[in-house]
Amino acid sequence: MNTKYKRILVLTGAGVSAESGLATFRDADGLWNNHKVEDVATIEAFERNPEFVHQFYNEMKPELLKARPNPAHLALAKLEQEYSGEVNIITQNVDTLHEKAGSRKVYHIHGQINQAVCLNCGQILETWDDVDTQTVCPHCGVSGMMKPNIVFFGEALLCMDKVQKLLAECDLFVSVGTSGVVYPAAGFVQTAKYYGAETYEFNLEAASNNYLFDKHVYGKCGETLPVFVNELLAETKESE
């Protein structure tokens, strides 16, 4: 089946979850859940006050557990299910709304709220319960060594081997709901472009790295993305 694109790669940021009611990082007054991201989500902040950082994320869990996917998440899941080419999602988000919408090939480069990592043995604890400095690692039995499995500023991203491969192989790169200020994610479009992908920016407004994209679709992604996905699927059906 000659689909226009063989491998579609989608990068999402906080904007894709905005219509699910979750706070973005830099939209309002620059504060995120009443804190500057950089004051909480840094490895220094965690080393300085692990209890505070654990509590910050524990307090976020109930809202993220309750949140429901919006039409943008659902459109991407529909694309993965119905498109004859390959569809992968790289997300900067720590929520699990892509998975709740039905997407299966999702790579969380900044980690996940419902995971903690043991700094003693490196194993992951999947839980929506509170994690703190007293939590005992179920794998090695050591307590006080659990960290939210969230990539703080100054930490290396997760899944980067897979990400590099996806960026080199994709022929369509679609960025959705990200301000394009956090690296290395904000530079992924350049890598995809270097390897010959067509690049689309879906955002409420022009992101900081908008000049790197071939095409732009501005508006709420809960409205713009379903239209785009249906057009891609219609093109495939026409070519059958």
- What is the rounded distance in angstroms from the CA atom of residue 127 to the CA atom of residue 138? 11
Catalytic option among 54, 73, 98, 110: 110
- Of residues 197-216, those binding ligand BV8 (CB under 6 A): 203-205, 207
Binding status of residue 94 toward ligand BV8 by CB under 6 A: yes
Whether residue 110 lies in the annotated active site: yes
- Of residues 63-82, those binding ligand BV8 (CB under 6 A): none
Please pick, from the candidates 73, 98, 108, 110, the single residue that binds ligand BV8 as defined by CB under 6 A.
110
Nearest approach, Cβ of residue 71 and ligand BV8 (Å): 10
Q: In this structure, how many other beta carbons lie within 10 angstroms of the beta carbon of residue 63?
A: 15
Task: Report the residue number, 82 or 155, with the smaller CB distance to ligand BV8.
Answer: 155
Which segment (23-31, 76-84, 95-103, 122-130) binds ligand BV8 by CB under 6 A? Answer: 23-31
- Of residues 141-180, those binding ligand BV8 (CB under 6 A): 150-156, 177-179
Please pick, from the candidates 19, 82, 130, 132, the single residue that binds ligand BV8 as defined by CB under 6 A.
19
Task: Report the residue number, 83 or 218, with the smaller CB distance to ligand BV8.
Answer: 218
Nearest approach, Cβ of residue 132 and ligand BV8 (Å): 17
- What is the rounded distance in angstroms from the CA atom of residue 233 to the CA atom of residue 173? 16
Residues of this chain that interact with ligand BV8 (CB under 6 A) are 13-15, 18-19, 24-27, 37, 41, 92-94, 110, 150-156, 177-179, 181-184, 203-205, 207, 220-222
